[in-house]
Structure 1
Amino acid sequence: MSRLLAAALTAVWVSSVLAQSPADIVIRHATVVDVERARLIADQAVALSGDRIAAVGKDADIAKDWAAAKTIDAQNRFVIPGLWDMHVHFGGGPELIEENQALLPLYVAHGITTIRDASGDLPTEVLDWRRAIAKGELFGPTLLSSGPKIEGLKPVWKGTIETGSRSDVDSAIERLRTLDVDFVKITDSTLQPDLFLYALTRARAAGFKTSGHIPMAVTVKQAVDAGLSSIEHLGYAYNAGAKDEAAIAADFGAGRITREQANERLDKGFDRATAMKAYRYLASKGVFVTPTLNGSRIIAYLDRDDHHNDAYLAYIGPRLQKTYAWRVERAAQANAEQIEQRHARYERIAATIPMLQQAGVTIMAGTDAGFLNSFNYPGIGLHDEVALFVDKGLTPAQALQSATRAGPAWFGLLDRYGSVERGKAADLVILDANPLDNIRATRSIRTVILRGQAYDRAALDRMLEDARNKVAAWNAKAAS
C-alpha cells in the first residue's frame, strides 16, 4: 500500500470518527418494548448521554453515528422504561430511620427507578432523602413525596398535619407548599368529611395533585368533584358500584350504621351497570386508581400463608418486621366464617380491575409496601402487583403500562418518562424475557439503568447482598 493511499484511508477513518456523536452508553442489539402501543421493535440500539436518551434507532445506524464510552450488548433482550411504584411508605418511628433508608436499593435492584411516597411517620426524613437522591448524595430511585399527610385531630396515623377547622386546612396547604411536596395526601382516620372535601378543593386550587382515602360518609363522586386526583386502594373505588352508595354514606355519617354494616350494604348493593357508569365518570374526570391489590391479598389469605418462611424477609430489618405484627394479630382473631368472608370480599373487590380498565380509568401500579403492611415487600412487591393485575383480567401490556406510563402520566411527566425514546430519561430496564407475552418477565432483570448509570446483574446482586448483610448484622445485634 502506498503512503498516499494509507494517508487517504487514515483521513477517511479519522473523519468518520470525528463525525460520530459522543455517548456515555450505547445499548446494542436490543428489542425495544413500545409499551404504549404494546409492540416490539427489534434490532435497535439506544444511545445514552448523561441522564437522557440521546438516540434510538436501528442498531447499525446508531453504531455508525454514535461513539460510546461504554457498550452494552443486549443480545436481543427486551428494553423497557424504568418501573414506577406509585404507593410506598416509610415509617415506624425515628429508631427505624436506618432500616427504612436501607430499603431504597431494593427498589433499584428490582428495576424500580421511581417511587411515590404516600406518607408515613418519617415525612421530614423522606423529604431529605428526596433532595439527597436528586443531588447524587444518596443512592436510590427517584423519590416523589407527599410529605406529611393531612388528617383530622388525634388520628390513628402519626406524622400527619392535624386539622380541625378550615383555617387549619389552609395552614396545612401552605405548609405543604413551603415543603415543596410533589402532591398532597389526605386520609380519613379522624378527618371530618366536610374538611376532607374542603382540603381537596384547597389543594387543587393551590395546584397540587391529590391522593387519598375517601371517608365512608363521603361518596366517590363527591370526592372526585372536590378534586381528588387518585384513589388509593381499590376498595374505595369499589364503593362507587353500589346502587345506594349515597344513602349508605348518609347513614354512616349520621351514625345510624357501623362500618361493618356499611360494608355489608355496599356488597349487597354492588351492581355492574352502576359501577361501570361510576368508573366512566372517574375516567372522564382524569381520576386514576392505585389498587394496591397485593397487600390486600396477603392479609385476606394469611390463614393459608403466614409468610414466616418468606426468603425475602432476609432483606427486611428486624424492627420493620415487628411492625407487621399488628395486622397479623388482628387477622388471627377471625373465626372460620369471618375468614371466608374476608376471602370473598377480596375477590369481589379485585374483580373490578378489568371493569376499571374497560371504563377507561388509568390504573397505577403501587404496592403499599413498607412499615405496618405485613409481608408486602419493597421491590419484589411491584412485580407481584402487576402479576395480580393479569391474573384478574388485564393483559400483560396493560399491566406493564400501569407500572411504566401511569405514574408519569399522573404527574404530567410523560414528556420525560414512560417510553424508550429520544429525549426521555435514561431510566431503563433490560429483561431476559418478553413482558408482553408474560408479565412475570418483569422479574427477569439483566440490567437496570438509573439516571444514566448502568447496573448489571452482578451489581444488582451486590445490592441485594449488601441488604442481606445489613439485616443479618441488625439481627445479630438484636440477639446479643
Structure 2
Amino acid sequence: MSRYVDPSTVTGHVVLRDVTVVDPQDGSRTPGQDVRVEGDRITSVSATGAPADGAHLVEGRGRFVVPAYQDMHTHALNTPEDVDGAYALMLANGIAGFRQMSGDRALLKSRRAGTLPSPTGAPDLKATSGDLLTPLNASTAEAAVRAVREQHRDGADFVKAGATTRVTFLAALEEANRLGIRLGGHLPPDLDPREAARGGVWSIEHLGPGVTVFAAASSQEAEVRAKQAARKLPPIPKVRFPGADKLVMKLVKQMAVNPATSTSEVEACAYELADGSYDQAKAEELAALFVAHSTWQCPTLIRVHTQQFGDAPAHTQDPRRRYMAPAELRAWDKSARKFAKLPEATRAALRGHWDAQLRMTKTFADAGVPMVAGTDACGAAGIIPGFALHDEFDHLAEAGLDPLTILRMTTTEVARFLGEEGRFGRVATGMPADLVLLEEDPLADHTALRRIAGVLRGGAWWDRAGLDAVLERVAGRPGAH
C-alpha cells in the first residue's frame, strides 16, 4: 500500500486506443495504433480496430505513447523505511525504474529475500551497488579488492567508487573485471579518465566529478592536474570500529547535500584554469576513447547545477519544495546558507564551470559516447524526485542535445546500459506494460515528455486527474526525501 497512491481501478485488459507510437530506437512515429495490455505485459501493437470485448479503453487520438522513463542515478533506497513519497513523485512523472547508487548489505539482503518496500505504483529497482568504496573499506589496494569480492558475493549489480585514490580505484577495477561485476562512479582526482576508460570502467557519474575529466581536455593539462591533486578525500575514517559503517553513511549523506560547499580556493582555480584552457580537439579525442571503450556517462546536469548554483532562487524558492519532507528542506536550507558564505571568487568559478559542462556533454553526444539520464535525487539539495528527471531533460536540451537523443537516454539506452537490450524501453509486443501517454510529440520538443496525459505502470493505468491527486496528497503530507 501507499500513503499517496490509490490502487488503480483500470487494470487487467487495457487498450490505449488510436495512439501514435514513438519508437526511441529508430525515431519513428506510427499513428493510428492500439496498444493492448494484459496484466503487466504488452500483448499487441497494431492498427486501430474494433474495441476489444471487456477491455478498459483509454482514448489516445492525437496523443503519443512512449516507454516509461528510467532514472539511472538516484538514492531512493537510502531511506527504505520511508520511500513512499519519492516513489509517488516518480510515478506522477512517468518513471518506472531506477538505479540505486548507494546500497549496502542490508539492502542486498532485503532484495534477495523479496522484502524491499513496494508501495502502489512503485518503480522497479533496476540495479544497485553495495557499500560505496571509501577510505573505510578501500583505504588500500588490498582492502579495495576485498570490498569488491564481498559485494560480488552479496549479489551487488555493480560496485560504486565513492571516494578513492588512483591506486585503490584501479585495484578495485581490475578485481571487478576479473569477477565480471561492473564498476562505476566517481573518478578520483589523481586518476586520468583515459586510464579509467582503458581499464574498463563501466560508467562515469557527474562528468567526473570535479575537473578530472576536464583536465584531459585542457591545453594545460599538467597544470590543471597539479591543482586538482590538492583536492583531499572527505574526512572518512580509515579504520573499522563499532558503528563505523553508520558513521560513514551519516558523513556521506551530510556531504552529499551539496559537496560544492566545501570547494577550496585551489579547486576553484583548477576549474578556472581547466575552463580557460579548453581544447576542443583534445575533448574530441577523449570522447572517441570513451566510444572505443564503451565508457558510459551519466552527466546528472541537474545535480551539478544545484551544486554550483547552490543558493540560486531557482532552487531555494522552487515551488515544488512543497513535496519534500520538512527535515530534508532544513538540510537544504542549511547547505544554501553555507554555500552563500563561500568567497565570491570561488562561487564565480563554480558558476563559470556550467558552460564547460554543457559543452562537454554536447561534445560527448556528438561523438556518440553512450549516455544515460540520471538526477542524483533523494538526498541532494534542490533535487525534487521525479520532477528532477524532467529538469535533467531541460539541461540536456540546453547543452544542445536533440529530443530523440534525450528520449533514448531514459529508455532504450538504459536497457543497453544495463545489459537488458530488447527487454524493456520500447513500445512493442512482449515488453513491460510501463508506458507514458503524452499530449504532444516528444520528437518535436523534449518538453512534451512532461506533458503527461497518463501513466501505465505494471499494467495499471493512472490518468492525469489521478496523477494530480497523487501530487496533492504528497503536498498535503510532505514526505519525499
Is the counterpart of residue 230 in structure 1 residue 218 in structure 2? no
Contact conserved, 2:20 with 2:62, CA < 8 A, in 1? Answer: yes
Is the counterpart of residue 284 in structure 1 residue 292 in structure 2? yes
Secondary structure of the residue aligned to 1:174 is helix
Residue 200 of structure 1: CA displacement? Answer: 1.3
Instruction: Write the distance in 1 (CA, Å) between the matches of 2:373 and 2:112.
Output: 21
Q: Indicate how the Cα distance of structure 1 residues 56 and 348 shifts in structure 2: closer, same or farther if over 3 A, else same.
A: same
Contact conserved, 1:133 with 1:142, CA < 8 A, in 2? Answer: no
Deviates more, 1:329-338 or 1:75-84: 329-338
| Aligned residue number for residue 407 of structure 2 | 400
Contact conserved, 2:268 with 2:346, CA < 8 A, in 1? Answer: no
Instruction: Write the distance in 1 (CA, Å) between the matches of 2:108 and 2:120.
Output: 12
Task: State how 1:342-357 maps to structure 2 within 5 Å.
Answer: 342-357=350-365
Task: State how 1:37-436 maps to structure 2 within 5 Å.
Answer: 37-60=26-49, 63=50, 67=53, 69-90=55-76, 98-119=81-102, 124-125=106-107, 128=110, 139-154=121-136, 162-188=137-163, 191-236=164-209, 237-245=213-221, 248-249=224-225, 253=229, 259-305=267-313, 307-325=315-333, 327-371=335-379, 373-436=380-443
Contact conserved, 1:126 with 1:145, CA < 8 A, in 2? Answer: no
Secondary structure of the residue aligned to 2:66 is strand
Instruction: Write the distance in 2 (CA, Å) between the matches of 1:356 and 1:110.
Output: 27
Instruction: Write the distance in 2 (CA, Å) between the matches of 1:59 and 1:344.
Output: 52
Residue 40 of structure 1: CA displacement? Answer: 1.4
| Aligned residue number for residue 467 of structure 1 | 474
Instruction: Write the distance in 2 (CA, Å) between the matches of 1:145 and 1:323.
Output: 28
Instruction: Write the distance in 2 (CA, Å) between the matches of 1:135 and 1:25.
Output: 26
Instruction: Write the distance in 2 (CA, Å) between the matches of 1:78 and 1:130.
Output: 37
Contact conserved, 2:308 with 2:347, CA < 8 A, in 1? Answer: yes
Deviates more, 1:256-265 or 1:99-108: 256-265
Q: Indicate how the Cα distance of structure 1 residues 229 and 246 shifts in structure 2: closer, same or farther if over 3 A, else same.
A: farther
Contact conserved, 2:227 with 2:269, CA < 8 A, in 1? Answer: no
Contact conserved, 1:186 with 1:211, CA < 8 A, in 2? Answer: yes
Q: Indicate how the Cα distance of structure 1 residues 423 and 275 shifts in structure 2: closer, same or farther if over 3 A, else same.
A: same
Is the counterpart of residue 439 in structure 1 residue 421 in structure 2? no
Q: Indicate how the Cα distance of structure 1 residues 127 and 400 shifts in structure 2: closer, same or farther if over 3 A, else same.
A: farther
Unaligned runs of 5+ in 2: 1-11, 233-264
State the structure with more CA Rg: 1
Residue 353 of structure 1: CA displacement? Answer: 1.7
Instruction: Write the distance in 2 (CA, Å) between the matches of 1:254 and 1:319.
Output: 34
Q: Indicate how the Cα distance of structure 1 residues 118 and 301 shifts in structure 2: closer, same or farther if over 3 A, else same.
A: same
Contact conserved, 1:130 with 1:144, CA < 8 A, in 2? Answer: no
Residue 435 of structure 1: CA displacement? Answer: 1.2
Instruction: Write the distance in 1 (CA, Å) between the matches of 2:422 and 2:313.
Output: 42
Question: Which structure ranks higher in relative contact order (CA pairs < 8 Å, sequence separation ≥ 6)?
Answer: 2
Instruction: Write the distance in 2 (CA, Å) between the matches of 1:127 and 1:300.
Output: 36
Residue 297 of structure 1: CA displacement? Answer: 1.8
Q: What is the identity, as a one-letter code, of the residue corresponding to 1:270?
A: Y
Secondary structure of the residue aligned to 2:385 is coil
Contact conserved, 1:119 with 1:145, CA < 8 A, in 2? Answer: no
Instruction: Write the distance in 1 (CA, Å) between the matches of 2:162 and 2:155.
Output: 19
Deviates more, 1:173-182 or 1:130-139: 130-139
Unaligned runs of 5+ in 1: 1-22, 155-161, 475-480
Secondary structure of the residue aligned to 1:313 is helix
Give TM-score scaled by structure 2 length.
0.82
Q: Indicate how the Cα distance of structure 1 residues 179 and 210 shifts in structure 2: closer, same or farther if over 3 A, else same.
A: same
Deviates more, 1:332-341 or 1:110-119: 332-341
Secondary structure of the residue aligned to 2:315 is coil
Secondary structure of the residue aligned to 1:324 is helix
Q: Indicate how the Cα distance of structure 1 residues 376 and 251 shifts in structure 2: closer, same or farther if over 3 A, else same.
A: closer
Contact conserved, 2:375 with 2:388, CA < 8 A, in 1? Answer: yes
Secondary structure of the residue aligned to 2:143 is helix
1:445-469 superposed Cα distances (whole Å, 9 cap, x missing partner): 1111112222222322232223223
Instruction: Write the distance in 2 (CA, Å) between the matches of 1:169 and 1:442.
Output: 41
Contact conserved, 1:149 with 1:186, CA < 8 A, in 2? Answer: no
Contact conserved, 2:284 with 2:367, CA < 8 A, in 1? Answer: yes
Residue 391 of structure 1: CA displacement? Answer: 1.8
Instruction: Write the distance in 2 (CA, Å) between the matches of 1:461 and 1:239.
Output: 45
Instruction: Name the count of aligned residue pairs.
Output: 434
Instruction: Write the distance in 2 (CA, Å) between the matches of 1:109 and 1:132.
Output: 25
Instruction: Write the distance in 2 (CA, Å) between the matches of 1:153 and 1:135.
Output: 30
Q: What is the identity, as a one-letter code, of the residue corresponding to 2:282?
A: T
Instruction: Write the distance in 2 (CA, Å) between the matches of 1:126 and 1:220.
Output: 30
Give TM-score scaled by structure 1 length.
0.82
Residue 249 of structure 1: CA displacement? Answer: 4.0
